Amino acid sequence: MINLPLFGRRRGESTIKTYEKVLEDAKTSIKNGDEDKALILLRRILRWITEDMEKVVKMSEEERKRISKLLTEAGENMLILKDYDYAIKTLEKAKALDERNVRAWFDIGRNLLQRNTQIPYAISCLQEAVKIDPHNAEAHILLGEGYRLQGQKEKALASYRKALEIDKENEMALEKLLKLDPNNVEILKKYAEVLEKKGEKENLIITYNKLANLTNDPSYLEKGLQLDPDNKELLITKAYILKQQNKYSEALEIAKSLMEKYSDDPGVQLLYGEIVESEEEEGIKPIEVEDLFGDLNIEGIEIPVEEKISYEDFLNYYENGQIERALEVLEKLEEEDINRLLEEREDLQFAEFLFSHGKVDIAERLLNKMLEREKNEDVLYLKSRILIERGQLDEGEKYLNEILKKNIKNAKALFQKARIMALRDNEMGARNFMLMSVKLDPGIKESMKNEKLFEKYADKDWFKKIVS
């Protein structure tokens, strides 16, 4: 970003119309592609109003609101031009002139979240925005994002649900809820209803498949198969449900049909093998492999299923919400497939999934790859948690210190520092870091109450005061 000077001769007596004229000139410059000139003009608005503040504060409430609105628009245009520091200063000035300027509070919170910086302050701004305008669904969603980034899952879910109360068909709120709670049947049903109305066939089929897996309700499969009668994933799920209902011959018919079309697909091979095995256990003679595949020149499935499973099978189950099957496949993946999987899904959410399901070593490998690219606070935080859980306190603390050098107000990092102090039996250190984290994020008190490491402080007056 060019460091533009605030040059220009001091104008004579200015009015609100003067500021508005400069804003219009800036917007015209943006349309004409002259971004440097636009930035000079937008910064000039902030400078002039700041210089005129003594006069501005004496204006009528209506006039101050008018200037606040003008500053908000100027700040929003600065954000478009990625002049972030001046944009935030301009928006701060806007909300100082009109504390109920919800756009200014909202814009600050949204931008800080987008840049993953000053998250506690972003949350404060968005809390104020929803206080001013409690029916603003987008503000509730963004507030939920802030809580999510701080690791406050329940608060994030509550904010997303509030957005959904306001706008019952808000697709973004539904998607955010499902990211945190992917197996919530009621939310999946609402999401399906929204997708049905929008005609989003691909996502709708995936959602029907998830619902069928979670509920064992074949009606969802039938709805999906009406949209795509030959959908492989739906047919696999249908076969598994039939198998669970002991309808082996019907399940085997589906498996047979799938094998004819997808003979090299490990997921289909796994399905067929499980159905055949179940039939044999029940004393039912399965169809001979030679009879089933003679025309295809397939010798039969003699290679163990484990050797044919790939990272694509894991992703298929993972993305369709079949978590138990995904974890089973993950256990059987070879090193080559794990490497390909980490290349395919290089994102924090996947790393958190691996960590939360005990796949710590794989999660750490993924985090290391991500850290080679960017020292993201959330990635550093998860890496520190892994090291702390392993008892590598010094190494974990190094990552936390790196976070706090960038953002001293990161309440999650301070909380983890408190855990390290507790592990080291450093009561004073634990106390100090607890105090700092709670001051920045009062919601973290619940985590402190539930933290086993802090149980030894339960009878201490200072601890009771912190969590009260």
Tell me the C-alpha distance between 380 and 402, whole Å.
8
Mean pLDDT along residues 29-52? 94
**pLDDT given for residue 116 in this prediction:** 85
**pLDDT given for residue 374 in this prediction:** 78
Q: Read off the DSSP letter of residue 167.
A: S
pLDDT band at 282 (very low <50, low <70, confident <90, very high): low
Q: Is the pLDDT of residue 402 over 80?
A: yes
- Give the residue among 64, 44, 43, 46 at the shortest CA–CA distance from 55: 64
Q: Percentage of the chain with pLDDT > 70?
A: 90
Q: Specify if 216 maps to a domain.
A: no
Q: Specify if 73 maps to a domain.
A: yes
Domain end among 67, 99, 131: 99
**pLDDT given for residue 302 in this prediction:** 46
Tell me the C-alpha distance between 184 and 174, whole Å.
10
Q: Specify if 317 maps to a domain.
A: no
What Rg do the C-alpha atoms of the chain give, in angstroms? 29
Mean pLDDT along residues 132-157? 93
**pLDDT given for residue 280 in this prediction:** 59
> What are the distances in angstroms from CA 98 to CA 70, 79, 101, 147, 334?
11, 20, 5, 26, 60
**pLDDT given for residue 303 in this prediction:** 38
Q: Is the pLDDT of residue 2 over 50?
A: no
Summarize the chain as % helix, strand, coil (round to 5). 75, 0, 25
Mean pLDDT along residues 295-324? 63
Q: Specify if 226 maps to a domain.
A: no
**pLDDT given for residue 15 in this prediction:** 83
Mean pLDDT along residues 322-341? 81
Mean pLDDT along residues 295-300? 49
Mean pLDDT along residues 78-104? 95
Domain end among 45, 71, 99: 99
Q: Specify if 113 maps to a domain.
A: no
Q: Specify if 431 maps to a domain.
A: no
Q: Is the pLDDT of residue 270 over 80?
A: no
Q: Is the pLDDT of residue 229 over 50?
A: yes
Copy the structure tokens of residue 452: 């086993």
**pLDDT given for residue 40 in this prediction:** 95
Tell me the C-alpha distance between 368 and 383, whole Å.
8
Q: Each residue of 337-392: pLDDT tens digit? A: 888 888 877 788 888 888 888 888 888 888 888 888 777 888 888 888 888 887 88
Q: Give the DSSP H/E element, type plus range, for residue 443.
A: none
Which amino acid, residue 388? I
Domain residue limits at 244: 231-308
Q: Is the pLDDT of residue 3 over 70?
A: no
Q: Is the pLDDT of residue 18 over 70?
A: yes
**Range with lowest mean pLDDT among 296-305, 411-420, 445-454:** 296-305
Give me the number of domains the chain comprises: 2
Structure-token match 């009879």, residue found: 291
Q: Specify if 465 maps to a domain.
A: no
Domain end among 71, 99, 127: 99
> What are the distances in angstroms from CA 404 to CA 28, 137, 396, 415?
42, 32, 13, 12
**Range with lowest mean pLDDT among 18-32, 122-136, 173-187, 287-301:** 287-301
Q: Is the pLDDT of residue 409 over 70?
A: yes
Q: Specify if 235 maps to a domain.
A: yes
Mean pLDDT score of the chain? 85
- Given a contact cutoff of 8 angstroms between Cβ atoms, the answer to whether 107 and 76 are in contact is yes
Tell me the C-alpha distance between 368 and 358, whole Å.
17
